[in-house]
């Protein structure tokens, strides 16, 4: 059953930003049709439709890149030509404002980000730097920062702005990565270089309720700790992301982090450190959380759904070990491998296997015997070789090679998108040592060494005894003479 709804546009028209006003009308900032608004207040049970708003002067602003609702309920939109469009809630009117700096210069740099901080400061991010906007006199101040990393010929290209719980302002830039604004005058950069990242083009920022900062790059997704003032983890498709280009992010009412990427939508589980991917819409550039509904905008559609309506899979509480391979060959019941019979019954009903040294390279396959719609994940480990749980992102098979002799326990369990875990299925594995490492062989070597040492000592003693006898006869002979 389809869990999402969709508004279809009749042409390519990227939805750059999604806003909900105080009456729950949905507003879209779009690249080709300016500002659009839903015809009715949003109702999750009904369909949604949009139309282009404003008079001719507003519709002339065809490319609108971002949007914001302020504390009064007024809506603000940033335009490609460097101006702002404001929708005044009180009289339902629109106005276009040119951004004029203190020195009288009109801003022509495209406005990519708008943000209202906890102190009421209105920040505007452009492709040529950061502006502080005064809504009382419609004037703005261009921020000049002290930062050795900034190059005069390459001003800040700001794509996202946010504020963490410690009231720190953060900028996401296309050319300097994450930037920390300190006391409004200094800028700290270089976080990506410190972590070892080669690319630093930011497309989205999310200040989460957990106090952390989540960063969407063109090349991955990062977790930033304001307390440590550092990036602490970077994720890519190798870690389960469906795409490395993270265009937008939001957090739902349960504190779950959602990512919009080029290939789909991903939910990041902070507890499991896993990604659950939904390939229902691609090229995502904007996101909104309203009540219990998530909205996603791309270059063609607006997709929306309630995360609680997602039926990930019919769960099975037990994982079954379904197969075993030795040296890349399936192990059959009663068949001999390298001088030993490994299985006397199905591996699914076996709790212990013993492998000789020649069979120490083995693989195990497992399954929960339920249909999973691509959301099933398994966690496994081989104690004590693997003390921590690992995630089988690559499928339902794990392999081990060149394990030292010893006793091991393989454990596997289901992990679900709602962060539940199933019972643990286990299999004990004993790997026998090479004949040269056995106790009997080592005992024989010790005995042989002891015998050899005894023979050497005995021979030395015999030689010494013979020498002593020869010396005695020589002395007697000398006395007789």
Q: What percent of the chain has pLDDT over 90?
A: 58
What does the alpha-carbon distance between residue 365 and residue 323 come to, in Å, rounded to a whole number?
Answer: 5
Residue 447 pLDDT class (50, 70, 90 cuts)? confident
The domain spanning residue 367 has which CATH number? 2.60.40.10
Q: What is the pLDDT of residue 371?
A: 45
Q: Is residue 480 part of a domain?
A: no
Q: Is residue 399 part of a domain?
A: yes
Q: Is residue 285 part of a domain?
A: yes
Task: Output the average pLDDT for the chain.
Answer: 88
pLDDT reading at 126 higher than 90: yes
- Cβ contacts of 50 within 8 Å, gap of 6 or more: 7, 26, 28, 36, 37, 38, 39, 302
Task: Walk across the sheet containing 169-173 and list its strands.
Answer: 158-163, 169-173, 177-182, 186-188
Q: What is the pLDDT of residue 207?
A: 97
User: Which residue has better confidence, 376 or 334?
Assistant: 334
Q: What is the pLDDT of residue 94?
A: 95
Q: What is the pLDDT of residue 265?
A: 94
Nearest to 360 by CA among 429, 257, 267: 429
Same domain, 248 and 328: no
Same domain, 127 and 20: yes
What does the alpha-carbon distance between residue 398 and residue 389 come to, in Å, rounded to a whole number?
Answer: 13
pTM score, whole prediction: 0.74
Start-to-end Cα distance in the chain? 123
User: Which residue has better confidence, 448 or 445?
Assistant: 448
Same domain, 261 and 375: no
Same domain, 348 and 459: no
Q: Helix (H, G, I), strand (E, B), or coil: what is residue 445?
A: helix
Q: Over range 87-97, report the average pLDDT.
A: 94
Q: Over range 197-204, report the average pLDDT.
A: 93
DSSP 474: H
Same domain, 301 and 324: no
Tokens (6 digits) for 279 = 């390939």
Q: Count of domains in the chain?
A: 3
Window from 56-60, 157-161, 263-267 with minimum mean pLDDT: 56-60
Identify the domain containing residue 69 by its residue range: 4-309
Same domain, 138 and 66: yes
Q: Over range 107-124, report the average pLDDT.
A: 96
CB atoms closer than 10 angstroms to residue 214: 22
pLDDT reading at 479 higher than 60: no
Q: What is the pLDDT of residue 177?
A: 95
Q: What is the pLDDT of residue 184?
A: 67
Same domain, 219 and 188: yes
Evaluate whether 38 touches 15 at the Cβ level (below 8 Å).
Answer: no
Q: What is the pLDDT of residue 470?
A: 65
Q: Over range 314-320, report the average pLDDT.
A: 66
Residue 135 pLDDT class (50, 70, 90 cuts)? very high
The domain spanning residue 282 has which CATH number? 2.130.10.10
Same domain, 369 and 390: yes
Tens of pLDDT, residue by residue over 391-419, are 886 567 899 999 999 999 999 988 877 66
User: Which residue has better confidence, 170 or 463?
Assistant: 170
Same domain, 224 and 367: no
**Among 309, 342, 357, which residue terminates a domain?**
309
Tokens (6 digits) for 295 = 């909205």
Tens of pLDDT, residue by residue over 344-378, are 888 888 899 999 989 989 999 887 765 444 566 88
What does the alpha-carbon distance between residue 195 and residue 232 come to, in Å, rounded to a whole number?
Answer: 8
């Amino acid at each position: 059953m389809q869990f999402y709804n969709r508004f279809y546009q009749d042409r390519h028209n990227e939805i750059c930003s999604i806003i909900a006003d105080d009456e729950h009308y949905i507003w879209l900032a779009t690249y080709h049709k300016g500002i659009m608004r839903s015809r009715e207040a949003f109702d999750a049970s009904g369909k949604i439709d949009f139309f282009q708003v404003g008079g001719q002067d507003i519709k002339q602003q065809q490319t609108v890149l971002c949007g914001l609702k302020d504390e009064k309920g007024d809506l603000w939109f940033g335009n490609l030509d460097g101006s702002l469009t404001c929708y005044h809630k009180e009289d339902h009117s629109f106005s276009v404002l040119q951004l004029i700096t203190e020195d009288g210069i009109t801003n022509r740099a495209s406005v990519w980000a708008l943000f209202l901080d906890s102190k009421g400061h209105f920040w505007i991010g452009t492709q040529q730097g950061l502006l502080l906007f005064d809504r009382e006199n419609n004037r703005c101040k261009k921020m000049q920062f002290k930062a050795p990393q900034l190059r005069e010929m390459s001003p800040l290209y700001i794509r996202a702005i946010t504020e963490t719980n410690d009231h720190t302002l953060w900028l996401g830039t296309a050319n300097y990565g994450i930037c920390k604004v300190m006391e409004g005058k200094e800028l700290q950069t270089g976080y990506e270089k410190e972590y070892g990242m080669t690319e630093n083009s930011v497309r989205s920022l999310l200040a989460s309720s957990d106090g952390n900062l989540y960063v969407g790059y063109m090349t991955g997704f990062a977790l930033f700790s304001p307390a440590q003032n550092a990036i602490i983890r970077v994720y890519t498709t190798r870690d389960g992301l469906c795409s490395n280009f993270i265009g937008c992010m939001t957090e739902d009412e349960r504190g779950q982090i959602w990512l919009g990427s080029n290939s789909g939508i991903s939910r990041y589980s902070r507890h499991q450190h896993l990604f659950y991917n939904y390939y229902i819409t691609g090229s995502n550039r904007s996101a909104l959380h309203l009540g219990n509904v998530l909205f996603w905008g791309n270059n063609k559609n607006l997709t929306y759904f309630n995360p609680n309506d997602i039926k990930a899979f019919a769960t099975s509480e037990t994982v079954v070990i379904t197969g075993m391979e030795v040296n890349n060959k399936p192990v059959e019941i009663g068949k001999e491998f390298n001088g030993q019979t490994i299985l006397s019954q199905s591996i699914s009903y076996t709790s212990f296997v013993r492998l000789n040294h020649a069979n120490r390279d083995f693989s195990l396959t497992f399954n929960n015997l339920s249909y999973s719609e691509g959301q099933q994940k398994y966690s496994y480990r081989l104690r004590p070789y693997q003390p921590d749980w690992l995630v089988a992102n690559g499928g339902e098979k794990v392999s081990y090679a060149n394990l030292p002799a010893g006793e091991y326990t393989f454990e596997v369990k289901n992990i679900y998108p709602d962060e539940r875990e199933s019972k643990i299925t286990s299999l004990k594995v004993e790997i026998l040592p090479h004949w040269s490492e056995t106790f009997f062989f080592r005992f024989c070597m010790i005995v042989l060494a002891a015998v050899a040492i005894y023979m050497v000592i005995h021979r030395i003693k015999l030689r010494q005894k013979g020498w002593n006898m020869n010396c005695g006869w020589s002395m007697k002979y000398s006395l007789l003479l």
